[in-house]
Structure 1
C-alpha cells in the first residue's frame, strides 16, 4: 500500500476533524494504524506504520501536547511534553550540532524542541506552549514510546 506524507497528514487531520480516536487500514498485508492521543493531546498524535522515506526527508514539524507532570508534589504549572509517536529521540539536528533546548531554555509555541525519528523520517517536535525547560527526560539517540515524557516545562503566564 503506497501512501505519501501528504495523504498521511490528511488522514491525521480527518481524525481530529471528525473526532475519531483510532483508524486502522490494512491492504495487501500492509497496515497503517493511527491513534489520536489521550485527554490532554490537542494535536493529532499517531503511531505510524508507513513506507520508509530517505533519511534526509524533513517533513513539517509535528506539534505535541503538554500533559500535566506525573509528580503530585510538583508545581501545578509544570507539565510534561510527550512523544507523539514511537521512534528515536534526538536533542539536536545532527550529532555535532548543539541541542535545540536545554534546562533553562525559554520556549514558545512553534519552537522546535527535538527530533523523533520514526520509519526513517526525521520529525521535528514543536512546543505548543510557552514556558521554561526544567528537565530533559529523553536520552539522546534512545528509543521513545508514544506518550513518553520528553521534557518538563514550567508554563509561563
Structure 2
C-alpha cells in the first residue's frame, strides 16, 4: 500500500466521524485509530506519516466513551477566562451552542478566542488554566 493512499485514508478519517479503520490489501494490513477529534486537513497534511501512531497514542480520551470531545485547533497556552478577574467562559454543566466562546488560546503572542462549533453540555474540562496545549488535543468532553 502506497503512502499516498494512507494519507488519503487519514484525511478521510479526520473529515468524518470514523474512529477506527482496518484495511487489508494483498498481504498488507493497515489499522488507523482516531481520538474522535476532527482535524483541519491543512494541519493533517503537515504530519509526518511515521509520527501518526505516536501522535494518536499521546492523546488521552475522556473516561466516558459516550462523551464527545472538543479539540484545540491550534498549539498554544490555554486560558479558561478572558482575564484573571473574569469568570471562566464555561464550567462543567454549561450548555454550549455554535459560536459560544469556550476559551482563549494564546499562540505566537496572539489571543485566539475559541468558539464552539457544536451544541451540547460541558461534561469535563480536560486541561488547566495556563496549560500548553497542542493542535488536536482534547480540551473539553461534551454530552
Give the TM bin, normalised by the shorter chain. Answer: 0.5 to 0.7
- 5+ residue gaps, structure 2, are 1-6, 8-12, 17-37, 45-59
Other structure's SS at 1:122 match: strand
2:46 is the alignment partner of 1:70? no
Q: Distance in 2 between matches of 1:138 and 1:91?
A: 9
State the Cα distance separating 1:142 from its structure 2 match: 1.4
User: Contact 1:86 / 1:146 at 8 angstroms: preserved in 2?
Assistant: yes
Q: 1:93 to 1:45 in 2, by over 3 A?
A: farther
User: Contact 1:85 / 1:145 at 8 angstroms: preserved in 2?
Assistant: yes
Structure index of larger Rg: 2
State the Cα distance separating 1:45 from its structure 2 match: 6.8
- 5+ residue gaps, structure 1, are 1-20, 22-36, 48-68
Larger relative helix fraction: 2
Q: Distance in 2 between matches of 1:114 and 1:131?
A: 16
- TM-score w.r.t. structure 2 length? 0.59
State the Cα distance separating 1:38 from its structure 2 match: 3.1
Q: 1:153 to 1:139 in 2, by over 3 A?
A: same
List structure 1 segments (4+ residues) > 4 angstroms apart after TM superposition.
42-47
Q: What's the RMSD between the two structures over aligned residues?
A: 2.7
Which one of 83, 95, 103 corresponds to residue 106 of structure 1? 95
Deviation per CA, 1:12-37, whole angstroms, max 9, x where unpaired? xxxxxxxxx9xxxxxxxxxxxxxxx9
Which one of 98, 110, 116 corresponds to residue 105 of structure 2? 116
> Which residue pairs with 2:27 in the alignment?
none
State the aligned residue count: 96
State the Cα distance separating 1:146 from its structure 2 match: 1.1
State the Cα distance separating 1:74 from its structure 2 match: 2.6
- TM-score w.r.t. structure 1 length? 0.54
User: Contact 1:46 / 1:85 at 8 angstroms: preserved in 2?
Assistant: no
User: Contact 1:84 / 1:146 at 8 angstroms: preserved in 2?
Assistant: yes
State the Cα distance separating 1:70 from its structure 2 match: 3.2
